[in-house]
C-alpha cells in the first residue's frame, strides 16, 4: 500500500495533496519538477524559509501577495529594500509577518546580488543527490533532511544566508526537483 489519494478527477496523487485544489495544481505542475534560475530559486528559498514552522499550503495561498510585496523576488529590487520597506512588509497581513524571516529575505537578496549570474543555481544544484535512489513507497521513507541538504545548509550559512537549515534545504530540493519524492503509485512517479 502506498501513500496516495485518488483525486476527484480519478488521478492518484501523493496523499499530502488531500482534497485541496491548489495543492493538486501545485503537486501536478510544480512540486518535483526541475527548476533553474537564480530568481526562481531565490523565490523558492525565500518561501521555504517563510514556511518554517507553518504548513506549506499557508505559504502557497499567500504566494501571490509575497510575489507582489517582494517585487517578484527580483534580487536586485529586494536587496535595495530599506527600513520603510521593512515596516511596510511587517504591516502587510497578506504575508507571514515575521521580523526574522523578512530580514533574512532582504539580507539573502543582498548576498545573492554579490554572486555571479547563475551562481546560486549552480551552487544549489551541486547538492542534488545522484539519480537512482529508490522511489519512496510511503512518506515514512521520506527524510526530513539528508547529507546533501545538511551540506547545502552549511555552505549557504558560511556565505551568510539565513533560514536555510537542513530541513528547509531538503524541502527546497523536493520542490525544485533536485530530488523526486513522489511516492510509488502517484501519477507523477509513473511518468518519470
| Enclosing H/E stretch for 158 | helix 147-158
Q: From the candidates 30, 56, 74, 187, which is the catalytic residue?
A: 56
Across 46-75, b (16+ Cβ under 10 Å) vs e yields bbbbbbbeeebbebbebbeebeebbbebeb
Is 125 a catalytic site residue?
Answer: no
Residue 56 bears catalytic tag: yes
Picking from 139, 153, 137, the residue whose alpha carbon sits closest to that of residue 49 is 153
Catalytic residue of the set 23, 31, 48, 81: 48
For residue 150 the three cell numbers come to 545538511
C-alpha cell belonging to residue 175: 520542490
Contact 164, 153 (CB under 8 A): yes
Considering Cα of 77, then 161, then 181, then 135, what sign does the dihedral take? positive
Note whether 166 and 153 are within 8 A (CB). Answer: yes
Nearest-angstrom CA–CA distance, 131 and 127: 12
Q: Is 26 a catalytic residue?
A: yes
Catalytic residues: 26, 48, 56
Amino acid at each position: 500500500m502506498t501513500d496516495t489519494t485518488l483525486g476527484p478527477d480519478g488521478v492518484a496523487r501523493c496523499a499530502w495533496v488531500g482534497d485541496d485544489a491548489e495543492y493538486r495544481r501545485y503537486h501536478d505542475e510544480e512540486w518535483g519538477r526541475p527548476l533553474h534560475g537564480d530568481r526562481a530559486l531565490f523565490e523558492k528559498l525565500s518561501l521555504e524559509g517563510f514556511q518554517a514552522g507553518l504548513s506549506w499550503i499557508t505559504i502557497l495561498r499567500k504566494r501571490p501577495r509575497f510575489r507582489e510585496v517582494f517585487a517578484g523576488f527580483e534580487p536586485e529590487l529586494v536587496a535595495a529594500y530599506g527600513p520603510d520597506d521593512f515596516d511596510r512588509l511587517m504591516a502587510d497581513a497578506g504575508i507571514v509577518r515575521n521580523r526574522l524571516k523578512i530580514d533574512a529575505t532582504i539580507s539573502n537578496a543582498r548576498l545573492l546580488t554579490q554572486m555571479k549570474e547563475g551562481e546560486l543555481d549552480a551552487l544549489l544544484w551541486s547538492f542534488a543527490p545522484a539519480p537512482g535512489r529508490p522511489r519512496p513507497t510511503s512518506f515514512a521513507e521520506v527524510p526530513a533532511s539528508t547529507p546533501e541538504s545538511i551540506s547545502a545548509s552549511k555552505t549557504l550559512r558560511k556565505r551568510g544566508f539565513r533560514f536555510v537549515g537542513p530541513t528547509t534545504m531538503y524541502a527546497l530540493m523536493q520542490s525544485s526537483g533536485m530530488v523526486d519524492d513522489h511516492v510509488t503509485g502517484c501519477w507523477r512517479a509513473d511518468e518519470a
